[in-house]
Structure 1
Amino acid sequence: MGSAIGDTLPLAVGIAISPIPIIAAILMLLSPKARATSVGFLVGWVLGIAVAATVFTLLSSALPEGDEDASKPVTAVMRLVLGAGLLLLSLRQWRSRPAPGVEPPLPKWMAGIDAMTAGRAFGLGFLLAAVNPKNLLLGAGAGLAIGAAGLAVGESAIVLLVFTLVAAASVAVPVIAYLVASERMAAPLERLRAWLVHNNATVMAVLLLVIGVVLIGKGIGNF
């Protein structure tokens, strides 16, 4: 179980530092319906991460088991494909870096956050966690690692829980902090939002590159 947690933690961190959901959560916390929308978004975000990782864990568990020391070509190919996908996303992120002094554009849907309801915020959080291509690849990698570890049901559930908690932490922390001390959090949240807007492409490009290389390396090792 420890090795499975170790394999999934970098993938969880990759989801956790995704700038777009963090920026969305911050904008909700600065909106008129801060409490309702931010909590709805957080619940959707956590559920989306858990569902995606669980689905891929179940699919991976269905793969034929071999000897521990034997090659695992199916797992190897899946890891190579996931790693290659992350490398392509890394290249795309790197090319999307804004020029110095240029304000990076944000997704158009963020303009409607002030009027968003808790239900729509929940749906948005779920979609960003479970359907976003980058998070989907990272969730698939985590599910593959858990399913291939040959763990008991209880152990797999614990690994999934740890993965979900780590992956959701970057959204959960500002939301919980705001609920506890809303007046003191407004200025720090705005500074964090501004930093993420200007640096998200570079941060994600480097992280996806590292995780992609790790997955490709593990895939080669499975042959």
Structure 2
Amino acid sequence: MGSAMGDILPLALGVAISPVPIIAAILMLLSPKAKGTSVGFLIGWVLGIVIAVTLFTLLASVIPEQDPDVSKPITGTIKLLLGAALLFLVVRQWRSRPKSGETAALPKWMSAIDTMTAGRGLVIGFLLSAVNPKNLLMAVGAGLIIGAAGLSGGEVAIVIVVFTLIAASTVAIPVIAYLLASKRMAAPLEALRTWLVQNNATVMALLLLVIGVVVIGKGIANF
């Protein structure tokens, strides 16, 4: 279990360090319906992570078991394809970064956050965590690692819980902090939002580059 736990950590961090959902959570916390919308968003975010990783863990578990001392071409090929997809996203993110002196644009759906309900916040949280291409690739990678590790049911559950806690932490922390001390958190959250909006593409490009190289390296090691 320790090996699987270590292998999923970079992928969990890849989900956690996602500027767009963090920005969305902050905007919800600064909106008129802050509490309901942000809590709904957090619930949807966590559900999306759990469902996606669990689904791909189940799918990965059907890959035929092999001797740990021999090559695993199926697993290796999937990891290579996953790494290549992450590197493709690196190029897209890097090209989308704002030029010097240019202000980064937010996704159009964020302009409606002030009028969102808790239910819609939940749906958006779920879509950002379970359907977003970048996070979906992370879930595929984590599911592949967990499903192919030969763990018991209890160990699989523990690894998925750890993955979820790490992946959801960057959305959960500001939401919980705001609920506990809303007045004191308003200014820091606004400053964080501004920085994340401007540096979103650069942060994601560098993060995906590191994770993509790691995944490709692990894929090569399976041959």
> Is structure 2 residue 182 aligned with structure 1 residue 178?
no
Residue 67 of structure 2 aligns with which residue?
A: 67
Distance 2:106 2:32 in 1: 20
* Unaligned ranges ≥5, structure 2: none
Query: Tell me, what secondary structure is at the counterpart of 1:57?
Result: helix
Q: Which consecutive segments of 4 or more residues in structure 1 shift more than 2 A?
A: none
Distance 2:183 2:105 in 1: 28
Q: Deviations over 1:63-94 (max 9, x none)?
A: 00010111111101110010000000011101
Distance 1:78 1:56 in 2: 12
Q: What are the equivalent positions in structure 2 for 1:12-31 lying under 5 Å apart? A: 12-31=12-31
Q: How far apart are 1:16 and its partner, in Å?
A: 0.3
- Overall identity of the aligned pairs, in %: 72
CA RMSD of aligned residues (A): 0.5
Residue 44 of structure 1 aligns with which residue?
A: 44
Distance 2:67 2:3 in 1: 17
Distance 1:97 1:165 in 2: 29
Q: How far apart are 1:118 and its partner, in Å?
A: 0.3
Q: How far apart are 1:200 and its partner, in Å?
A: 1.1
Distance 2:9 2:68 in 1: 22
Query: Tell me, what secondary structure is at the counterpart of 2:66?
Result: coil
Residue 138 of structure 1 aligns with which residue?
A: 138
Q: Which amino acid aligns with 1:93?
A: Q
Q: Which amino acid aligns with 1:204?
A: M
Distance 1:47 1:145 in 2: 20
Distance 2:136 2:18 in 1: 12
Q: What are the equivalent positions in structure 2 for 1:1-223 lying under 5 Å apart? A: 1-223=1-223
Query: Tell me, what secondary structure is at the counterpart of 1:88?
Result: helix
TM-score by length of 1: 0.99
TM-score by length of 2: 0.99
Q: Deviations over 1:110-149 (max 9, x none)?
A: 0000000000000000000000000000110000011111
Q: Which amino acid aligns with 2:23?
A: I
Distance 1:159 1:53 in 2: 10
